[in-house]
Amino acid sequence: MNGAEAILNAFEQHHIDTVFGYPGGCIMPLYDALVSRNVKHILCRHEQGCALAADGYARASGRIGVCIATSGPGATNLITGVANAYMDSIPLLVITGQVPSALIGTDAFQETDILGMTLGIVKHSYLVTDANEIPQIVAEAITLATSGRPGPVWIDLPKDVLLSEIINTEAVEESHQPASTAAQTSTATTAVDMILQAKKPLLYTGGGVHLDNAVTELQQLIQLTAIPHVCTLKGIGNAGKNTACDLGMLGMHGSRAANLAVEECDLLIAIGARFDDRATGKVSTFAPAAKIIHIDCDAAEIGKLKNVELSIRSSLKSFLAQIYDDLQSHSATLQASTAEWKAHCQALKRTHGFAMSANTVDDCGPIAGPAFVNMLSSLAPADTIVSCDVGQHQMWVAQYFSFATPQQHLSSGGLGTMGFGLPAAIGAQLAAPDKPVVNISGDGSIMMNIQEMATIKRYGLPIKIIVLDNQHLGMVRQQQELFYEKNYSEVDLSDNPEFTDLAKAFGMKALKVTHANQMRRGIETLFAYSGAMLLHVCIDQTENVWPIVKPGASNKEMIEGASA
């Protein structure tokens, strides 16, 4: 058995059955060994597509995503996808070939110091020097990637190591996940006391809730207490669908209701959220009247950006279960003491939420992005997985698509990677072959990884692609309109190819809609068709995302429906 075979053995041992990759010179021993194995290898058409597809696979499945590339440009092309996973704490195992050991450091053909280049975007990385270490390293890498705060782990393998015979072939014991940290009873008691003393408590939850598999516990807590809830982009779906006390996303493009609730609350309970600048706006003015409880599994996140009254480093799942138990006997007290606040938040939601009334659509007019997404949400099957790209359409999905769980909403939160959506949809469809998967993209983002349409064709994936086309880099145009005195610079995309023709060139069905009265038929056709299909939606070019908070400003300075 050589090093390459040891990698594949390790995949089998750790139940890794799907990987995303692209072959090349130094990784060829692995591809040579792959031919006789049962691992399903998905050949993407660009290494960035491999990394982002592995990311989408991990998000949709809750399992580790694996991507493979060769040395040099193969490895560097992975970087954006790996950085994307790092920023959103997605577990990835990244395998790259490297030039033979004797050539490392000689500027050999397709040599890059990929370990050095990627230090800032991985939880850990290895440059393997001895093939005998491969089983142990892969086991450790998987444990690291999936435990605690998840993230990508990179294994760089020189070609000679892949080809080396392994002397020690003893099976490696499965690496045990480190025990998750539970909150001390005393801190949980303090948290409960603070909740009971508060008149205006507010839950602020993020992506950590889903990553710690604590969505059920959070929803039970919300059901018990009815404490008003706001969430980050990655926390969308945490509260469940149509939950009365959920005010939706906060922050730069959050609902006015959510931002006002944060402004007014006297206790902010941050759960698996990291006070990101897109969520908080000017952080010194965030939640100005509130005491803050911050619960996170990562000690480095607590107090990083905002001082808090009570910090709790804990598994979210166990903490939420603990305070649920503690609050059960106080439920009536809590309901009474916070009734006025809850009624106020309900009023905020009615007047400043994202709900769209049925008569806001002008059937004869152009298509408005929010109206389209709102209709899509109402017509999509309940178990639909939506992957977004980055820009205006991403925010409209966050605002107007209703998700029952965060696992259904795949969005590049931390890095904001245009081009994420299409490969992520491929990963999601492979992770969940029986569920409808929709990639909602923009005319800018879709072109960033358009080559992955070939991957959809190759594997016959029934992915639905929706391109909301305003012939511009819409979010940049919007900010130039509002904050750069309409000095539009390099945002015109009116020379994009005809998307329906492009789809057909990749063997995909396509349909174009241009007016509001065609939206329903377009969406229904999309879901009625069994295979892959692209829906080209021409939308109003001047439509903006509202509200918007100017970067660096306080969330209370939301701008809505007018120029700044």
Nearest approach, Cβ of residue 312 and another protein (Å): 14
Cβ nearer to another protein, comparing 91 with 248: 91
Tell me if residue 223 is catalytic. Answer: no
- Is 159 in the active site? yes
Beta carbon of residue 340, minimum distance to another protein (angstroms, whole number): 37
Nearer to another protein by Cβ, of 48 and 125: the residue is 125
State the helix-helix crossing angle for 474-483 and 392-400, rounded to 10 degrees.
90
Q: Reply yes or no on whether 557 is catalytic.
A: no
> For residues 113 and 540, which CB has a smaller minimum distance to another protein in the complex?
113
Would you call 385 helix, strand, or coil by DSSP? Answer: strand
To another protein, the closest distance from the beta carbon of 440 in angstroms equals: 33
Kindly list the residues in this chain that would bind another protein in the complex (CB under 8 A): 115-116, 119-120, 123-125, 127, 144, 149, 298-300, 303-304
Of the residues 12, 109, 328, 486, only one is catalytic, namely 109
Catalytic one among 5, 11, 98, 159?
Answer: 159
Q: Based on CB atoms, which residue is closest to another protein, 368 or 415?
A: 415
Give the relative orientation of helices 215-225 and 316-328 as an angle to the nearest 10 degrees.
20
C-beta of 297 vs 463, nearer to another protein: 297
Q: How far is the CB of 14 from another protein (least distance, A)?
A: 18
C-alpha to C-alpha distances, 551 to 252, 299, 483, nearest whole angstrom: 8, 27, 9
**Judged by CB, which is closer to another protein: 87, or 192?**
87
Q: Which lies closer to another protein via its Cβ, residue 3 or residue 248?
A: 3
Report whether 204 contacts 250 (CB < 8 A).
yes
Least distance in angstroms from the C-beta of 428 to another protein? 29
Where does 399-528 show beta strands of DSSP type E?
Answer: 409-410, 437-442, 464-469, 509-513
Q: Shortest Cβ distance from residue 397 to another protein (Å)?
A: 31
**Is the Cβ–Cβ distance between 208 and 272 less than 8 Å?**
yes
Q: How many whole angstroms separate alpha carbon 467 and alpha carbon 149? A: 33
CA atoms of 161 and 135, how far apart (whole Å):
13
The two tokens of residue 101 are 């050991």
In this structure, what token pair is assigned to residue 206? 């993020």
Single out the catalytic residue among 448, 475, 508, 533.
475
Q: How far is the CB of 367 from another protein (least distance, A)?
A: 43
Question: For 188, phi and psi rounded to 5 degrees?
Answer: -65, -40
Q: How far is CA 523 from the centre of its chain?
A: 24
Nearer to another protein, 119 or 505 (CB): 119
Look up 395 and say whether it is catalytic: no
- Closer CB to another protein, 277 or 298, in the complex: 298
**Nearest approach, Cβ of 127 to another protein (angstroms)?**
6
**Structure tokens, 350:** 């009615």
Q: Is the distance from CB of 512 to CB of 536 less than 8 angstroms?
A: yes
Residue 209 in tokens: 């809730």
Beta-strand relationship, 533-538 and 509-513: parallel
Q: Two tokens at 389?
A: 């790209």
Distance CA 193, CA 432 (A): 42
Supply angle C-alpha 143, 303, 55, rounded to 5: 35
Residue 100: how many CB atoms within 10 A of its CB? 18
The SS3 call for residue 69 is strand
Q: How far is the CB of 129 from another protein (least distance, A)?
A: 8
Known active-site residue 392 = no
In three-state secondary structure terms, 467 is strand
Catalytic residue among 47, 133, 217, 452: 47
C-beta closer to another protein: residue 14 or 149: 149
**Catalytic site residue from 1, 87, 110, 512:** 110
Match 């691992």 to its residue by tokens. 39
Residue 244 · residue 346 · CB < 8 Å: yes
Instruction: Please state the closest distance from residue 305 (CB atom) to another protein, in A.
Output: 9
CA distance 392 to 475: 5
Strand partners, 286: none
What gap in Å lies between CA 58 and CA 18, rounded to an integer?
11
Number of residues written out for the chain: 564
d(CA 34, CA 25): 15
Catalytic residues: 47, 109-110, 159, 475
